Every structure is written in structure tokens, then in C-alpha cells.
A and B are shown apart, each in its own frame.
Chain A
Amino acid sequence: MSGPEAHWRASLDSGRFLIQRSVNGGEAVFPPRIAAPGSGEALEWVEACGLGTVYSVTIIGRRPPEPDYNVVLVDLDEGVRMMSRVEGVEPGAVRIGMRVAARIIREDDKPLLVFDPLETQHGG
């Protein structure tokens, strides 16, 4: 039987973005663990909704012609935070508070979670 990290990676490889939460309705957990941090409570897998908000962002400056790139911390709506990057916009356009949606890509022959900006919702 594989551990939770291997299970999470295998799920991501099959197109599913999972996170954990306490079976007693406690807080969501990421990265995957064998038990809830702090309490030791049992965990179950749930499908992440995939929506989140940029909590922090840094732009890594590189010497031309190499392009700058962003690294972000994203707060998923479930309440966990993860490192990632926002794609589809210039690095300098990524802002704290920006709403984003997860997407699974393949990079270096492995699945990887990245985020895209959500379109501005009008009248919603």
C-alpha cells in the first residue's frame, strides 16, 4: 500500500486534484499526510474545487533573453495554501487577491498544478 504522497501524485497523474480533510469535518490538509497535523485525526480524500486566491507573489528576475517568471502562494477555497505559478498573464500582472483556477499540465514528464486567472465576473 502506498503512502498519501504517492496516492496524491498518482491521482494528479490521472487528472484528479485531491486534497485531504479530517473525517470529523475538520480543516482541509495539504500537502498530504498520514494524519491531520496537530490533532492526529484520521483524514479522507476529497476532490479540490480548484478555485483559489493569490495570497502572495514574487517575480524572479532573470537576465535577458531569459524571461522573468512568477511564483505564487495560492489559498484554495477549501482553506489550504500551496506554491504554484499563474499562467496566461505577464508576470507583473499577477496580483495578491487575484482569483485563479487550477489546471493540471505536464512538465518534465510529470503532472503539475498551475493556475489561470479567472475572468472578471460582471454583475455577479
Chain B
Amino acid sequence: MADDFPRARTAIAGLATYGLGEAPGESAIELAAQASRLALADAAIRLDEVDGLFVCLPSDFLGGLSFAEYLGIRPLFTDNNRTGGSAFMSHVATAALALEAGAIDVALIAYGSNQRTGGGKLATPAKNNDYDAPYRPLFPVSSYALAAARHLHQYGTTREQMAEVAVAARAWANTNPEAFAKGPLSVVDVLASRMISSPISARDCCLVTDGAAAIVMTRADRARAGPKPAVAVLGAAAATWWQAIAQAPDPTITAAAESGARALAMAGLTPADVDVVQLYDAFTINVILFLEDLGFCPKGEGGRFVSDGRIAPGGALPVNTNGGGLSCCHPGMYGLFAIVEAARQLRGEAANQIVGAEIGLAHGNGGTLSSQATVILGSAATL
């Protein structure tokens, strides 16, 4: 399989978040534009230098076109890919290849959503297919629940172990000024929360917030010359194995097993080399599935792995150090926020900074465990 990647030849030169939590009165495209403005300023790159535009707006089918118009730029390449919350990891992969090829010089990757103050629920045009819809599965939570139920059945995973993921996320959020959900949260609290679609309860579900993020990518030489520490893109791979959960051969094994292995191989690294892990935690079961599929623990061991505070502050493996989608923010498609948190860790400026973090992994999930994409990032020292 040809899977060449320009390892450490491109980098994140600038990044920003904007309006996390609640941004009343601001539209999705305004939020995305604000984050973009801040990320470009962070990189000291002018808007008119952006010639590669990568964007996903939650309910704008042709958002790439709208955003180019809004910013007033005429990109050489516009990517409006819609693989769900993993889209931004795919954007990084495509941008790296386009930058390396010389097709573009400056890639802007952006996202914005006002789903909390604009509607109060997940803003997405995605839905159940016509074969599944008559049975009224809640979209998308019931699909994750059917995978979680199998995980509990096949491996003896417990709801308490799922709850540990939410508890760890909250502990990280409690010391992150940017995080939306704060305050004490215990395993008992999670178990006692309202059952949405068994075995997933309300506190197993990510937040519904507003928010925007943006990153600016250039070739490594330019990023190194920028005002902020460059974050090397060491590997990026995406994999798609199904759309509907009913079509998953085994819904406890996701395409993260492929995207993670490929991205790590591109980077020449193994899971043991990764210092910080940022996973798309739409639901607590995601973290368990992805830690297994990405190779941090054997398949079926994820529930035990996340127990006893191992992924919480002070634990052996820092996971979702911003509080994740469960407690920091979840504006509909979280992938870019995982990338930003990984990059902040590697720049040494995260709210919950992991001392000496050199290698970060950001993993995105799209659809119903359908599209998986993994990005491996390195500190400036890896360039």
C-alpha cells in the first residue's frame, strides 16, 4: 500500500479557539472567522496569504464556498469534506500533501458552531438511513449504545468503567479556564444520570456548546521562522469502514485500528512514544474503544485501562487534557479542538500542561464510529 507522508515537512504555525461554551448572538460563520483571524495573527500570517481553505460548517452543505466568500479570499484549493467530526484530521492530511507538493503555501483549517445558543441541540444534517430510521434509534447516540452494549457483553466492560472516562474528563476541565462544564463529578453521579440509550446515560454524552477553532499550516521552514513554536505534523491518516453501525462487522473494533497504525507508522513511532492523547469523546465508550484501537491497551482491556484515574490528571497517560468533548466543549464536530489541544501541549502552553510533552496524538471520529482519522504531532524539537 502506498501510504507515503511528508513527515515533519509541514507544521502548525498558528492556532486559536474562540467562543467556547456560549457565544450568544454570534453565527457559526462569524465564530469560524473569529477563530481564523486569531490563528492567523498567532502565526503572523496575513489573510490574503491563505491559498488553501479547509472548513466544515455544521449546517452549511457548501460551507467551504461560503467561508471563502465571507473571508474575501480566492483559494487555490478549497476542501469542504464532510466525514463528520474527523474531517479536520483529514484536512491536516490533505493540507500536508498539498503543501509538500507546492500546490498551496498556507492552509487555513477552521470550524465554528453556535449550536448551543442557536438551537440547543446537536446541529447536523446527518441522520439515520432509511433502513434503520423506522426503528427510531436516537441519532447518533443509539448507534454508539449498540457498540457499547457489545463491548460490555464481549469483554465484561462495566458502566462504572465508562463513567471513569467522564470523571477524568471533568477533573481535567476543572483546571482549564476555557472548559464549559466544571464542578465535582463522580462515578455515582454518572451512573445516576438519566438513561438516554442504554448503556449510555446523560453524563456519558458529550456537551452541546458553541465554539470555534482554527489552525494555520505551512511548510516547516516557514513555521520555524514564525513567532510561535512550530508544531510538526509527523503523520496523518484517515480510514472509513462503514457508515451505519448495523454494517459494522464488529462495532467494538473501529477504523481507528487502521488510521492510528498508519499515522504512527508514518511518524516512525509507537503508542509508547506518545506523551499526550486527545481523543474525540462524543461518548465515554469512544475513549475506551479508541485507546484499544490506537494500541494503548489490548482490545477488550479499555475499561480496566481507564480505571483508577489512569487517564485523569496525575495518571500514567494524559488523555483529553482540556476536558474533552465531555467537559470542555463540543460544538458539534470536535475534531479540530482535539488537534488544537494537542498542539498547545506541544507548544508548552496548555492550561493543563504536561511537562516535557514532545509527541501528541489527536484522533477524530465521524458519523457513528464510521470515519476515523489520526494525526501525530511533534514539538518544535522534532522538526
Contact = CB atoms under 8 A, between A and B. Distances in A.
Interface stretch (B57-65, B92-100, B134-142): B134-142
B153 interface: yes
Interface of B: 129, 131-132, 134-138, 142, 145-147, 149-150, 153, 194-200, 244-247, 251
A83 B135 contact: yes
Interface magnitude class on chain A: 20 to 34
8 contacts: A55-B150, A58-B145, A60-B137, A60-B142, A60-B196, A71-B136, A81-B246, A96-B153
Nearest to B132: A83
Contacts, number: 64
Given A55-B150, A73-B246, A96-B149, A61 B131 contact: no
A31 B246 CA distance: 10
B246 A61 contact: no
A90 B149 CA distance: 18
Given A71-B135, A83-B132, A83-B135, A56 B194 contact: no
Contacts of A96: 149-150, 153
A107 interface: yes
Interface in A31-90: 31, 55-61, 69, 71, 73, 81-85
A81 B147 CA distance: 14
A122 interface: no
Contact of A56 (B129, B132, B146, B200): B146
B247 A61 contact: no
Classify the secondary structure of B's interface with A.
mixed
A112 B145 contact: no
Contact of A73 (B129, B196, B245): B245
A57 B194 CA distance: 18
B194 A61 contact: yes
Given A69-B136, A71-B136, A82-B131, A58 B247 contact: no
Given A71-B142, A71-B197, 14 more contacts: A31-B129, A55-B150, A56-B149, A58-B142, A58-B149, A59-B198, A60-B138, A60-B142, A60-B197, A69-B136, A71-B136, A82-B246, A84-B135, A85-B135
B248 to A, nearest CB: 8
Contact of B146 (A61, A71, A82, A112): A71
A98 to B, nearest CB: 12
A101 B244 CA distance: 23
Interface of A: 31, 55-61, 69, 71, 73, 81-85, 96, 107-108, 110, 112
The 6 closest A-B pairs by CB, nearest first: A58-B145, A61-B195, A83-B132, A56-B146, A59-B198, A83-B246
B134 A110 contact: yes
Given A71-B135, A71-B142, A107-B134, A56 B150 contact: yes
A110 B133 CA distance: 13
A59 to B, nearest CB: 4
Nearest to A9: B130
Contacts of B198: 58-61
A7 B131 CA distance: 14
The residue among B134, B197, B244 with the most chain A CB atoms within 10 A of its own CB is B134
A71 B149 contact: no
Given A58-B145, A60-B142, A73-B146, A83 B197 contact: no
B368 to A, nearest CB: 11
A35 B296 CA distance: 38
B183 to A, nearest CB: 24
B206 to A, nearest CB: 17
B131 A83 contact: yes
A108 B197 contact: no
A96 B145 CA distance: 13
Contacts of A81: 246-247
B252 to A, nearest CB: 10
The residue among A59, A69, A73, A107 with the most chain B CB atoms within 10 A of its own CB is A73
A41 B342 CA distance: 45
Contacts of B142: 58, 60, 71
A57 B137 contact: no
B255 to A, nearest CB: 15
A116 to B, nearest CB: 15
The residue among A58, A81, A85 with the most chain B CB atoms within 10 A of its own CB is A58
A61 B145 CA distance: 12
Contact of A108 (B129, B134, B153, B251): B134
